[in-house]
Amino acid sequence: MTISFERHLNPNPTPDAEREEILKAPVFGAKLTDHQVLIVWEKDKGWHSAQVIPYGPIMMDPSAAVLHYGQEIFEGIKAYRHQDGSIWTFRPMENAKRMQRSAKRLALPELPTELFLQSLKELIAVDGAWVPAPVDEKTLYFRPFEIAAENFLGVRAAHRAEYRVIASPVGPYFTGGLKPVKIWIALDSARAGRHGTGEAKTGGNYAASLQAQNEGYEHGCSQVMFLDAESATYIEELGGMNLFFVYKDGSVTTPALDGTILHGITRSSVIQLIKDRGLKLEERKITLEEVRQGMNAGDIVEVFACGTAAVITPVGQFLSKNETLGQENSEPGQLTASLREELTGIQYGTVEDRHNWLVKLS
């Protein structure tokens, strides 16, 4: 399904000099481009009124369903500029499909895959100049999202929804670069339960993670690790990233997708790159106790987190109110650093894209 987009250009775009200044050192999510995509869905009409409009506030009735019942989903995906000036994105069909699964779980309408891809191309057609040059891991981060936009306080799936895409030029998510980060272990709060919304990319999951994140900040940690809600025994994921553990025999594990963990696209790409190297990769249940013993005994030699925003980030320590695992000021692991180089190389077009993960936007 392709539909034609109306284009209403921003009459007051950011001056070139100001944009260039922003692109020198972009801060994740702090500045947005000049336009946004909007596509409307109504129960009796389906998707319609696709348009690119100036970036700006959303006029919303205070009774809009999303403000009360949290019927919202989103995605995160980046645009990479290559050396020849062309602009590419990474595995967008996977984001489109995940957004459809999130929509289903949140009783929102599913945006067709081709329309998702088209929406990114339409935004790049007007805001392509916002994609930074390929240095210092700079990219343009798209934030596609969908909200229940019906004015009605009854609790039921909304009959009107809006899909929008906004975009922000970004540098590394963690300002320390490859410096290993500290992770707070959430012992008193859970992010997702059985048959809940953990697998969906929906705002409520992130709201549920913020109390523990604040606790983590107080202890010098930059992210939170969640355990399974039922037994607080098994490692699930971080607030916004998936986790991998590297053992001294060269094998790698990551928590299996059990219904409560986000199906990370970086995770699935990293799994492929690890298998390509002929290393043993297991997706399975991993207990906190296994990680405790493994890190203390030196059997687990590297830990890293991954996601679109974070790319691949080494984890140095896990902290909780009871313990500290790992060493202060450790160095990033070898496999972590080399996977990060390979993945970003593919994304920026300097390493062969042997799995055909890249899609050209412009």
Give residues in contact with ligand PLP (CB under 6 A): 76, 237, 240-242, 262, 264-267, 307-308
Residue 43 C-beta: closest distance to ligand PLP, Å: 29
**Residue of closest CB approach to ligand COI:** 76
Residue 180 C-beta: closest distance to ligand COI, Å: 17
Contact 45, 161 (CB under 8 A): no
Q: Please, which residue, 119 or 266, has the CB nearer to ligand PLP? A: 266
Beta bridge partners of 317: 182
Contact 195, 226 (CB under 8 A): no
Residue 115 C-beta: closest distance to ligand PLP, Å: 19
Q: Please, which residue, 74 or 247, has the CB nearer to ligand PLP? A: 74
Among 307, 316, 326, 332, binds ligand COI (CB under 6 A): 307
How does DSSP classify residue 187? Answer: S
Q: Please, which residue, 38 or 309, has the CB nearer to ligand COI? A: 309
Cα(61)–Cα(40) distance, rounded to whole angstroms? 16
Task: Name the CA radius of gyration of the chain, rounded.
Answer: 21
Q: Give the one entry of ligand COI, ligand PLP, none that residue 237 binds, where binding means its C-beta sits below a cut-off of 5 to 8 angstroms depending on kind.
A: ligand PLP
Q: Please, which residue, 47 or 90, has the CB nearer to ligand PLP? A: 90
309 binds ligand COI (CB under 6 A): yes
Residue 307 C-beta: closest distance to ligand PLP, Å: 3
Q: Give the one entry of ligand PLP, ligand COI, none that residue 264 binds, where binding means its C-beta sits below a cut-off of 5 to 8 angstroms depending on kind.
A: ligand PLP
Cα(202)–Cα(198) distance, rounded to whole angstroms? 8
44 three-state secondary structure: coil
DSSP 156-173: S--SEEEEEEEEEEE--S
Q: Give the one entry of ligand COI, ligand PLP, none that residue 128 binds, where binding means its C-beta sits below a cut-off of 5 to 8 angstroms depending on kind.
A: none
Cα(160)–Cα(313) distance, rounded to whole angstroms? 39
Tokens of 270: 């990293």
Q: Please, which residue, 119 or 308, has the CB nearer to ligand COI? A: 308
H-run or E-run covering 123:
helix 113-127
Residue 150 C-beta: closest distance to ligand COI, Å: 25
Q: Give the one entry of ligand PLP, ligand COI, none that residue 265 binds, where binding means its C-beta sits below a cut-off of 5 to 8 angstroms depending on kind.
A: ligand PLP
DSSP 193-259: -TTSSTTS--HHHHHTTHHHHHHHHHTT-SEEEEE-TTTS-BEEEESS-EEEEEETTS-EEEE---S
Q: Please, which residue, 134 or 307, has the CB nearer to ligand PLP? A: 307
Q: Which of residues 225-244 bind ligand COI (CB under 6 A)?
A: 240
How many residues lie near ligand COI (CB under 6 A)? 5
Residue 96 C-beta: closest distance to ligand PLP, Å: 12
Contact 92, 117 (CB under 8 A): yes
267 three-state secondary structure: helix
Residue 237 C-beta: closest distance to ligand PLP, Å: 5
Among 308, 313, 320, 347, binds ligand COI (CB under 6 A): 308
Beta bridge partners of 319: 184, 324
How does DSSP classify residue 151? Answer: B
155 three-state secondary structure: coil
Contact 244, 298 (CB under 8 A): no
x/- binding map, residues 57-86, to ligand COI, per CB under 6 A? -------------------x----------
- Residues in contact with ligand COI by CB under 6 A are 76, 240, 307-309
